[in-house]
């Protein structure tokens, strides 16, 4: 059985960033039902091949169940390097008193078009800024939620770069598909562990560095591990495996998982996993990625469950 270790709620292994935002609300809804505190933060499941993925956020739009949508805009766009938000790091997008009640959805408002203005962009390995386009019509998260009067509601939105970042052939710039998942910060756990050096250096590995060493996390168990191809089962999230100089171990950390059953598997061929682009012909793409056998694990609220990958 996987080991479990306790960790403090709402804190990852690295320092969290909870920057306050100057926001102004507009729109209707809410009535006289009172207000509650709403905090929405963003994090990232990382990707190889780029140094930075900087997205210009204009604000957040909320849709109350009763009444028109409400827009919360930044005084100036906030550019966030999503690739820097790994290993449990988060950055707050919204920390605001909002009308209490039920909300149908939230939407991230970004400034990301191929227009010659580098508001959102990628820095490729080796340098050089490349414009980034994000299909804005796909940034709506349909997860309904309730803000309680006098209470505090907090969510973290993971933007999975490995599952969303593409460099479309024959098109300018990069495109970032909104591969988003949202976690209620009142109940979450994590999976972490080590990967044996023998798996990192196996003859089947296709990378020259830690790039490509990835743990895939699938919802439910048991699940037969598969690549990212747009066909179930796609991973819920992924976690890079990196060498910890202090310990000499190759380690990974997958935070912000709702309590429940999962399957985890390791591959050293992550750079070969071509992400399908739904706007391009030929998708989905099924890549011959070799995984370790899937390991079933239960995530418990408030705990980090340890899963170590050893050589057979």
229 and 88 share a domain?
no
Residue 209 has pLDDT above 50, yes or no: yes
Strand partners, 147: 101
Tens of pLDDT, residue by residue over 236-247, are: 999 999 999 999
240 and 277 share a domain?
yes
Range 47-60 average pLDDT: 91
107 and 244 share a domain?
no
CA distance linking residue 103 with residue 30, whole number of Å = 10
237: CATH:
2.60.40.1120
Residue 311 has pLDDT above 90, yes or no: no
166 and 216 share a domain?
no
The band of 271, judged by pLDDT with boundaries at 50, 70 and 90, is confident
The structural domain count of the chain equals 2
In a 3-state reduction of DSSP, which class is residue 138? helix
201 and 233 share a domain?
yes
CA distance linking residue 137 with residue 277, whole number of Å = 15
Q: Calculate what percentage of the chain has a pLDDT beyond 70.
A: 86
7 and 104 share a domain?
yes
Last-in-domain residue among 186, 218, 233: 186
Phi, psi of 164 (to 5 degrees): -125, -20
Please give the residue range of the domain that contains residue 307: 187-312
60 and 164 share a domain?
yes
Q: How far is CA 210 from the centre of its chain?
A: 20
pLDDT at 49: 81
What is the overall mean pLDDT for the chain?
85
115 and 214 share a domain?
no
Residue 16 has pLDDT above 60, yes or no: no
Cβ–Cβ under 8 Å, residues 190 and 304: yes
Measured between its terminal Cα atoms, the distance across the chain in Å is: 17
The band of 58, judged by pLDDT with boundaries at 50, 70 and 90, is very high
Tens of pLDDT, residue by residue over 138-182, are: 799 988 899 999 999 999 999 988 888 888 777 888 998 888 999
64 and 153 share a domain?
yes
DSSP 171-238: SSSEEE---EEEEETTS-EEEEEEE-HHHHT-TT---SSSTT-EEEEEESSS-----SSSSSSPPSEE
Last-in-domain residue among 139, 164, 186: 186
* Kind plus residue range of the DSSP H or E element containing 267: strand 260-267
178 and 195 share a domain?
no
Q: Please state which of the ranges 30-44, 94-108, 122-136, 189-203 shows the lowest mean pLDDT.
A: 30-44
CA distance linking residue 57 with residue 23, whole number of Å = 12
pLDDT at 33: 56
Range 203-229 average pLDDT: 88
207 and 256 share a domain?
yes
Strand partners, 303: 6
Which residue carries 């803000």 as its tokens?
147
CA distance linking residue 118 with residue 115, whole number of Å = 8
pLDDT at 22: 32
The band of 132, judged by pLDDT with boundaries at 50, 70 and 90, is very high
pLDDT at 50: 87
pLDDT at 100: 95
Range 20-39 average pLDDT: 56
pLDDT at 117: 86
Range 16-29 average pLDDT: 37
Between these two residues, 127 and 59, which has the higher pLDDT value? 59
Last-in-domain residue among 129, 159, 186: 186
Residue 277 has pLDDT above 90, yes or no: no
140 and 206 share a domain?
no
pLDDT at 282: 63
């Amino acid at each position: 059985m996987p080991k479990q270790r306790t960790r403090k709620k709402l804190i990852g292994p690295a320092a969290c960033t909870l920057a306050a935002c100057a926001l102004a609300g507009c729109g209707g809804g809410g009535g006289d039902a009172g207000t509650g505190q709403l905090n929405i933060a963003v994090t990232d499941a990382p990707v190889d091949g780029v140094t930075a993925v900087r997205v210009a956020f204009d604000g957040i739009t909320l849709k109350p169940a009763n009444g028109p949508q409400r827009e919360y805009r930044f005084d100036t766009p906030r550019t966030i390097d999503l690739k820097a938000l790994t290993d449990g790091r988060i950055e707050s997008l919204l920390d605001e008193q909002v009308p209490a009640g039920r909300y149908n959805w939230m939407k991230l408002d970004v400034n990301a078009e191929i227009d010659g203005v580098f508001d959102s962009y990628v820095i490729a390995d080796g340098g050089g800024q490349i414009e980034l386009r994000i299909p804005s019509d796909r940034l709506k998260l349909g997860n309904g939620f309730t803000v309680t009067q006098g209470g505090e509601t907090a969510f973290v939105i993971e933007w999975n770069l490995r599952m969303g970042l593409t460099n479309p052939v024959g098109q300018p710039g990069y495109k970032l598909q909104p591969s988003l998942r949202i976690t209620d910060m009142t109940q979450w756990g994590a999976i972490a562990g080590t990967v044996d050096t023998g798996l990192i250096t196996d003859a089947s590995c296709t990378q020259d560095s830690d790039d490509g060493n990835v743990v895939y996390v699938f919802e439910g168990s048991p699940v037969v591990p598969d690549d990212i191809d747009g066909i179930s089962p796609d991973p819920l999230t992924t976690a890079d495996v990196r060498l910890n100089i202090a310990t000499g171990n190759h380690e990974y950390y997958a935070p912000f998982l709702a309590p429940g059953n999962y399957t985890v598997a390791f591959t050293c061929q992550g750079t070969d996993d071509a992400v399908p682009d739904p706007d391009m012909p030929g998708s989905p793409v099924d890549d011959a990625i070799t995984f370790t056998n899937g390991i079933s694990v239960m995530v418990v609220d408030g705990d980090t469950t340890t899963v170590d990958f050893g050589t057979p």
